[in-house]
């Protein structure tokens, strides 16, 4: 499995977790998530310490999980506290517990070195927290492709003319080159400004504005961490932004060839329509369907290539290539440890 582990990933949306036990596959590991009485979330390896049986197939006893096979019972920190057939659990009987962080609608999990989570907080997502005029919605889907293909896809939006022509403002026939690609050791971002043009129908509907008027747009895309990609899109009038959209993608590898995608949209504007929520969900849901189809086709091509092929890079790949290098160097560093 080839993905960095020393990193926070989105494990679930907060509203997915109720009274039950939620089984998830994260970085090739089976994890069971459940909500505790105080509202926090526990994440344990989804394997009983006694036999290879999933804890998620058991049941809850308050904040504890009872294995559905012989009844071993676990605290939320993974300690086995009870074995029905003997007085005391054997020393060291436990399963791994993973640190969890709740932030707005997202539940983050740390699958890396125990103790490492304290050194790095999960990425900030202020747009997803109520206040400052932001509204947001979210959805999740599974894409049968490697998570790095997804990062690269969203760092090169020149695919928009072929794949999402209805998203392009009228009159714009080519994306201007990236103004800036900013690179740090662990992240990469690009910035691009589009020339003034009337609004595409989806923009007008979402922003509550008239299609006759012309606006410029500024977009940015950031590989924040291997677990999060962030895009912003601002429609700018004479006095500044009239509509701002943030598209966050939590990319959580399940396996080398499967990624759970948490798409969160946040928006604000001076004339936002009452049904912007529904319209954005429809537009970006349809876009995500087309993206997923292309990404899964690419993964199938990679699987069919009998030997690794060399694919040509073009200028628009600059940010994507940098992200790939960051991920590879993180993996190498973790292997070196």
Q: Which one, of 326, 171, 157, 169, lies nearest residue 247 by Cα?
A: 157
Kindly tell me which residue out of 13, 50, 141, 164 binds ligand FES, with binding defined by CB under 6 A: 50
DSSP state of 105: T
DSSP state of 126: G
Q: Of 11-19, 49-57, 140-148, 325-333, which segment contacts ligand FES by CB under 6 A? A: 49-57
Kindly tell me which residue out of 67, 100, 266, 320 binds ligand FES, with binding defined by CB under 6 A: 67
* 70: contact with ligand FES by CB under 6 A: yes
Query: Minimum distance between the CB of residue 227 and ligand FES, rounded to whole angstroms?
Result: 31
Using CA atoms, how far apart are residues 52 and 47, in angstroms rounded to an integer? 6
* 235: contact with ligand FES by CB under 6 A: no
* 72: contact with ligand FES by CB under 6 A: yes
* 111: contact with ligand FES by CB under 6 A: no
Query: Minimum distance between the CB of residue 65 and ligand FES, rounded to whole angstroms?
Result: 10
Contacts (Cβ under 8 Å, ≥6 apart) of 249: 150, 154, 228, 229, 230, 231, 261, 262, 263, 264
Please list the residues that pair with 143 across neighbouring strands.
Answer: 259
* 94: contact with ligand FES by CB under 6 A: no
Contacts (Cβ under 8 Å, ≥6 apart) of 231: 154, 219, 220, 221, 222, 246, 247, 248, 249
* 88: contact with ligand FES by CB under 6 A: no
* 30: contact with ligand FES by CB under 6 A: no
Query: Minimum distance between the CB of residue 72 and ligand FES, rounded to whole angstroms?
Result: 4
8 Å CB contact between 109 and 43: yes
Please list the residues that pair with 265 across neighbouring strands.
Answer: 137, 247
Query: Minimum distance between the CB of residue 82 and ligand FES, rounded to whole angstroms?
Result: 10
Query: Minimum distance between the CB of residue 50 and ligand FES, rounded to whole angstroms?
Result: 3
* 53: contact with ligand FES by CB under 6 A: yes
Name the token pair of 17: 């977790």
* 290: contact with ligand FES by CB under 6 A: no
What is the dihedral sign for C-alpha 75, 115, 325, 123? Answer: positive
Per 3-state DSSP, the chain is made up of helix, strand and coil in percentages (nearest 5) of 25, 35, 35
- Minimum CB distance to ligand FES smaller for 70 or for 325: 70
Q: How many residues bind ligand FES (CB under 6 A)?
A: 9
Name the token pair of 127: 């747009």
Residues within the interface to ligand FES (CB under 6 A): 48, 50-51, 53, 67, 69-72
């Amino acid at each position: 499995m080839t993905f960095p582990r020393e990193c926070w990933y989105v494990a679930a949306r907060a509203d997915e977790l109720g009274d039950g036990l939620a089984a998830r596959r994260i970085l090739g590991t089976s994890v069971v998530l459940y909500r505790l009485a105080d509202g926090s979330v526990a994440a344990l390896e989804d394997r009983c310490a006694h036999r290879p049986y999933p804890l998620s197939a058991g049941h809850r006893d308050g904040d504890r999980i009872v294995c559905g096979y012989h009844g071993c019972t676990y605290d939320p920190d993974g300690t086995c506290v009870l074995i029905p057939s003997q007085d005391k659990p054997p020393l060291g009987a436990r399963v791994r517990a993973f640190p969890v962080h709740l932030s707005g609608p997202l539940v983050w999990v740390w699958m890396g070195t125990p103790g490492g989570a304290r050194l790095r907080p999960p990425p900030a997502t202020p747009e997803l927290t109520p206040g400052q005029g932001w509204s947001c919605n979210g959805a999740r889907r599974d894409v049968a492709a490697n998570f790095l293909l997804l990062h690269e896809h969203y760092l090169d939006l020149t695919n928009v003319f072929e794949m999402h022509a209805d998203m392009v403002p009228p009159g714009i026939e080519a994306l201007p080159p990236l103004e800036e690609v900013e690179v740090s050791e662990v992240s990469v971002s690009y910035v691009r400004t589009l020339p003034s043009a009337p609004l595409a129908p989806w923009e007008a509907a979402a922003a509550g504005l008239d299609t006759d008027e012309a606006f410029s747009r500024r977009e940015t895309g950031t590989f924040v961490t291997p677990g999060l990609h962030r895009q912003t899109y601002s429609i700018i009038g004479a006095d500044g932004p009239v509509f701002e959209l943030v598209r966050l993608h939590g990319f959580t590898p399940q396996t080398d060839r499967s990624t759970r995608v948490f798409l969160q949209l946040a928006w604000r504007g001076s004339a936002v329509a009452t049904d912007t929520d529904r319209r954005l969900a429809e537009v970006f849901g349809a876009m995500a369907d087309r993206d997923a189809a292309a990404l899964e086709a690419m993964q199938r091509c990679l699987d069919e290539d009998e030997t690794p092929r060399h694919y040509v890079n073009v200028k628009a790949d600059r940010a994507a290539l940098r992200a790939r290098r960051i991920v590879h160097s993180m993996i190498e560093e973790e292997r070196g440890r």
